[in-house]
Structure 1
Amino acid sequence: MTFISSRQRPLGWLLASLLLGSSALAQTPARPQPTKPVTSKPAPAAPLAKPAVNPSVAAKPRPTSARPVAIPPAEANVRYRAGKNQLDQGNYAAAIAQLEPLAQPAARFARAADAAYLAAVAEARLKQWPEAEQLLNLLRTEYPSYPNLPDALLLQGQVSFELEDFDTALKTLTLLPSDKLVAERENLKAAYLPRIQDRNTWLRNLRRYPADATLGRAYADRLVLGGAYTEADRPQLDDLITRFSLDRARYTPRPRPVSTKKSSYNVAVLLPFELADPSWQTQRKNQFVTDLYAGLRLAQDSLQRAGRTLQLFAYDTGADTLTLKQTLALPELAGMDLLIGPVYKSGARLLARYAQEHQIVCVNPLSQDGDLVLDNPWHYLYAPSAATQGRTAAQFAAGAFGTGRPALVLYEDSKDDAAFAAAYKAALEEQGGKVGGLRRFNPNVDASLATAFAGPELAAAGHVVVVSDDRRVGPYSLRLVQQQPAATRPGLLAPGSWLDNPSLGVGQLNGAGTYFIQPKYYDEQSVGFRRFRTLYLQRQHLPPSVFASQGFELLLYFGNALFQYGPAFQVGLAGASQTPGAIFEGASYFGGAHDNQVVPIIKLSGLEYQVLK
């Protein structure tokens, strides 16, 4: 088996899960202050409109006794503490069983409001939104003076969003004090408002909340970036741009791309060949570029044999942006059907901007930086972004390790690794898990590495995630994890690059709970790879490197997309299912993703590798 380093970094992440994991929702509720007796009952908070809930997802009735009775204070306190402990440990159903009875007025529990709020948090963790809504309505109606009411309102806003009751969600969030949870409220709206499909819902809420900048910007995004714009929307869009000081250049609608199929396509390859410097040092440094291009050329031949004519035009962009700018000024480049490159981040944004302005799809062959493809429908990453790798790994971990014990996430001090860690935390919390520690370290500083593993979090962890390709980190991490008692030893998720570390033996990598994130996994014994290797050897007289394999697979996938959908193939890729790869596990840009969504998780079993996801 052959592997390539799998470092990465995200983007986007699910606000709902972050909010549920934030201090606003996870904090211990404040103890209610005793109140003086009053002669009249305080007026309850204005009830929220009941969302139209599909009967199939309506809240299930809870079994209750025929005659509710008060719970003795000592017993109630024991139940409350037990419920909080279950919630902290991720045992949400058990937490609900303890806390929900205490939330009822008939229980006469001094901390009934806290119990209602925590039970609602547990229901939300289980994605039982109607049940969470019932508890929050109970809290607002029966305990209107609850000190943590802003937290409850924020959660109720999320619940209404999840139930697709957007009007109620926005109304609820307006009840929050103007100085409370401001960032959380705006982030929540930014995450959920793009789900609105009905134009009348948008317009109705814009009329109700004309000063809501997040709402206005979300609708402008939908019109321009989401493709919903028509000429009838021009006055509305102009008003939003003026009212909220939006960037007019960004929110100027572009003509919709027309994807006309052709019998032949032209592809520009913009790579830093650095042909002007023939020194062996430069040639050796740029060997990966040469290999990448050799893989592209071999894919061109394969497409030609399949009756799909595709012309490659190579441009030497050098190692600086000046040469790239000169290349982008060439008139013939605007007539290309696809752009591939560059490999250095300094030029990636330049080419992405050119692609958007000229409406030519551009594919970055190596980068894992999801930020590069934000808000640009003409830019793709061939690799999974760091954020996508983090989300996929967290979804796997929730099933493989469970969510009863927290995770410890350690990541190297780099942008991609930090993005992976943030996406991992968000996705794991959405799965009902918890991150007990999220720590950055410098692999070149012994004290920094030791501090990352220090403290009780390692012993308490259900699994550990280490995000670093540094060769010192793998042996250090495995030694500390394997020193933990066998009965409580945490699982381990690590980059696939550890499998190529000569300092690590098969026995160390073979742990029962050890898994590897390997975006570029391929099986050397597969028919597809053996055929590719034979053809490459015939052409280059050398075995293919992983970069040659990447170039081959990239052009094979996007070249076929050109012939299947035409040069504006975004809609086609968004609706296409995963395509098996000739070498790697495959590619998918389903749902409008602009980075590859296929992220294999593998395990070493004896001397064989198993693909688990």
Structure 2
Amino acid sequence: MLKRLILLLIIFSAFQTAFAQKSVSEYETAYKKALQTFKSGDFEKAQTEFGALCNNRIESTFVPYSFYFNALSSTKLQKYFEAKTTLKNLLVLYPNWTKKDEINYLFSNIAFEEKNYVDALNYAKSITDDSFQDDLAEMKAFYIGQIQSTKTLNELSAKFPDESILLEKKNKTAIIANTQTSTNSSSKNKNYFNFGLLLPLSVETLDPERTRKNQYAIDIYQGMKMAKNVLLKEGITINLFTYDIANNTDDMLELVNNESFQKMDLLVGPLYAESNRVATAYCETAQIPIINPMSNNQKLLDEYELVFLAQPSAVMQATKAAEFVRKQPFLGRNTAIYYTDSPNDSTMAETYRQQMEKVGYEIVKFEKILPFADDIGNKLPEKRVSHIFMATSDKKAGLSMINALNKKDVMYPLVTTAEAFNSSNLSNGTLAGREVYCFDPEFVDVEKPIVDTFRKDYLSKYGVIPSYYAFHGYDIALFWGRILGRYGNNIRKGLDNRDSYKDIYNLAGFNYLKSQDNQVLPFTTFQNYKFVLTK
């Protein structure tokens, strides 16, 4: 990457010299200043300066270079979503720019950083200039060398059989895996299953009458204990072993080397990235499933084929939102998409854009917003749209969007996350006459008889009303206990059998057909002072 950058800087400097004899415009002066800022290594300032130049629609051959260096500055700052957006805008506004290979090289570099290996290799493959080949080989060797997942390497090798660097890494990893894999057939023909709960309990004793910082972890555990009793009546025995695990790799490494821990048949958690990485590597070696009870990060699924998300990922939620919208009688085939500043928000927004573009929707607006009515109002579309999609984890954003729409006097349907609203502050008048739909993986339908029964049983046993996490823990233990009880080691066979999803659960349930990502997502709308399931 450094050699490519040096070459570009030489080319661009020569390019500037050709213009030196002419009258230097204000734009070109600002461009040279921004380029010097970039060369000095102040990428934050360079991004700001090139960003301002990108917004200037002056007729100058320097403008596409401003876009490129803006994206390159964003990449240096690890702001990959912003970098990709800038490069896409560059391609749209300047489709005939001669530096397409430079753009694809940067796209490939970003994709490798984000571990989107298929995109990275496809971008690399599209580069035709021979002068790039040494740099490409060096970049591929660096990033492919970091891949440890056998699953990922096998999938990539199948898609890119001619990549020699990939084949070499795959063979090395296979040799290591074969020497490490023990003969673990403990789940076959067993009449009980050990569940290891790797949760940040942070307590000496589990007393549900005391509220603690990590109460949600205790609630998950208490819910799982309720499910254990139900499974026992079905002839399935699960043993629950709790391990107080936070974001400490040393603790996790010590645990996986513990002989008793190696008798686990399934892990739930850990909730933190570093300890989760160690646990996932252990599960791949032991060939047991690992369930992430709260994460929405789809990238966790890339490492191993028995990693599962109990909640739908941000990508899955946006995909399901697009499916939901296509079934609604909204007028028109265009949309405006907005997102706030968390990584999940931008991931959802980008996925939703891709899904809607696939079916021919026009994206009228794609904007990052602040959760305030004035900022949103300034970015609302001038032309009519069929609906607005907003990806946000900010509870101020929902009402701010409604206020902005009211001020503009437009009645577009709004599709957004449940996190957009603080339901305790809502009234029927606030959303009167508006179509508002929220997708909510944590929705508890209090009208379901099974929910009412669980609430009463939980209250009777523990003396408190169950939280969402108690319902969630109960459902996770019940579902995975049944999968192991009915299918043993052949987990994928069970997950791809539609009969596995006929049972009714407290929450929306599960669907892992041909997937490691839960494909079930409830959609709600506001009625009578509360959110209810859409019909």
- The TM tier, using the shorter chain, reads 0.5 to 0.7
- Per the alignment, residue 306 of structure 2 pairs with 378
- Residues 1:453 and 1:565: Cα distance change in structure 2 (over 3 Å): farther
TM-fit CA distance, 1:296: 0.7
- Give the Cα separation in 2 of the matches to 1:224 and 1:609: 43
Q: Which residue of 2 aligns with 1:4?
A: none
- Matched with 2:405 is 481
Q: Counterpart of 2:261 in structure 1: which amino acid?
A: L
Report how far residue 24 of structure 1 moved: 9.2
Structure 2 gaps, min length 5 = 1-83, 123-135
Give 1:535's aligned residue.
457
Computing the radius of gyration over CA atoms, which structure comes out larger, 1 or 2?
1
CA contact (8 A) 1:573 1:589 kept: yes
Unaligned stretches of 5+ residues in structure 1: 1-17, 30-146, 151-176, 195-211
Out of 473, 493, 517, the residue aligned to residue 439 of structure 2 is 517
Mapped partners of 2:207, 2:222: distance in 1: 20
> Residues of 1 paired with 2:359 and 2:293: CA distance?
31
Which of 501, 507, 516 matches 1:584?
507
Contact residue 288 and residue 547 of structure 1 kept, 8 A: yes
Cα distance, 1:359 vs structure 2: 1.6
Q: In structure 2, what is the equivalent of residue 345 of structure 1?
A: 273
Indicate the SS of the match to 1:390: helix
**For the Cα contact (< 8 Å) 1:408–1:464, is it kept in 2?**
yes
Q: Matched residue of 1:293: which SS?
A: helix
Counterpart check, 1:291 vs 2:215:
no
Q: Is the 8 A contact 1:303 1:309 kept in 2?
A: yes
Measured after TM superposition, the shift of residue 23 of structure 1 is 6.1
The equivalent of 2:46 in structure 1 is: none
CA drift of 1:499 comes to 5.5
TM alignment of 1:150-161, pairs within 5 A: none
How do 1:114-513 and structure 2 match up within 5 A? 190=118, 225=151, 241-242=164-165, 246=169, 250=173, 260-276=188-204, 284-318=212-246, 320-400=248-328, 402=330, 404-443=332-371, 450-455=374-379, 457=381, 460-486=384-410, 489-498=411-420, 500-513=422-435
Q: 1:272 to 1:189 in 2, by over 3 A?
A: closer
Residue type matched to 2:407 in 1?
Q
| Separation (CA, whole Å) in 2 of partners of 1:399 and 1:279 | 46
CA distance in 2, matches of 1:412, 1:306: 46
Distance 1:182 1:401, change over 3 A: farther
Q: 1:475, 1:503 within 8 Å by CA — same for their partners in 2?
A: no
CA distance in 2, matches of 1:499, 1:337: 39
Corresponding residue for residue 90 of structure 1: none
Match of 2:44 in 1: none
**Deviation for aligned residue 1:399:** 3.3
TM-score w.r.t. length of structure 2: 0.66
Q: Deviations over 1:32-67 (max 9, x none)?
A: xxxxxxxxxxxxxxxxxxxxxxxxxxxxxxxxxxxx
2:424 aligned counterpart, secondary structure: coil
Aligned residues: 421
CA pair 605-278 structure 1, distance change in 2 beyond 3 A: closer
1:275 CA displacement: 2.1
Structure with higher RCO (Cα < 8 A, 6+ apart): 1
299 and 509 in structure 1: CA distance in 2 versus 1, 3 angstrom threshold: farther
Which amino acid letter does the alignment assign opposite residue 483 of structure 2?
A
Structure 2 vs 1, CA of residues 559 and 227 (structure 1 numbering), >3 Å: closer, same or farther?
A: farther
Give, in angstroms, the shift of residue 576 of structure 1. 3.6
Q: Partner amino acid for 1:397? A: V
1:434-492 deviations in Å (ceiling 9; x for gaps): 3222223454xx5xx74344145265433222222323222211111233335xx2210
Tell whether the 8 Å contact from 1:403 to 1:432 is kept in structure 2 after alignment: no
Q: Which residue of 2 aligns with 1:567?
A: 489
Moved more, 552-561 or 522-531: 522-531
Alpha-carbon distance, 1:226 to partner: 8.2
Partner amino acid, structure 1, of 2:367: R
How far does residue 405 in structure 1 lie from its aligned partner after superposition?
5.0
Q: Judging changes above 3 Å, is the alpha-carbon distance between structure 1 residues 178 and 27 closer, same or farther for their aligned structure 2 residues? A: closer
Distance 1:277 1:468, change over 3 A: farther
**What's the C-alpha RMSD, in Å, of the aligned pairs?**
4.4
Read off the aligned partner of 2:406 and give its amino acid letter.
Answer: Q
Contact 2:151 2:302 in 1 (8 A): no
Q: Report the CA distance shift for 1:438/1:348 in structure 2 as closer, same or farther (over 3 A).
A: farther
Relative to 1, partners in 2 of residues 1:584 and 1:179: Cα closer, same or farther, differing over 3 Å?
A: same
Taking the aligned partners of 1:594 and 1:243, their CA distance within structure 2 comes to: 24
* Mapped partners of 2:489, 2:512: distance in 1: 16
Indicate how the Cα distance of structure 1 residues 434 and 401 shifts in structure 2: closer, same or farther if over 3 A, else same: farther
- Contact 1:317–1:327 under 8 Å retained in 2: no
Contact in 1 for aligned 2:140/2:165 (Cα 8 Å) = no
Q: Call closer, same or farther: CA 1:225–1:317 in 2, change over 3 Å.
A: closer
Q: Offset of 1:301 from its aligned partner?
A: 0.8
* 1:558 paired residue number: 480
Q: SS state of the match for residue 357, structure 2? A: helix
TM-score by length of 1: 0.59
Structure 2: distance between partners of 1:572 and 1:257: 19
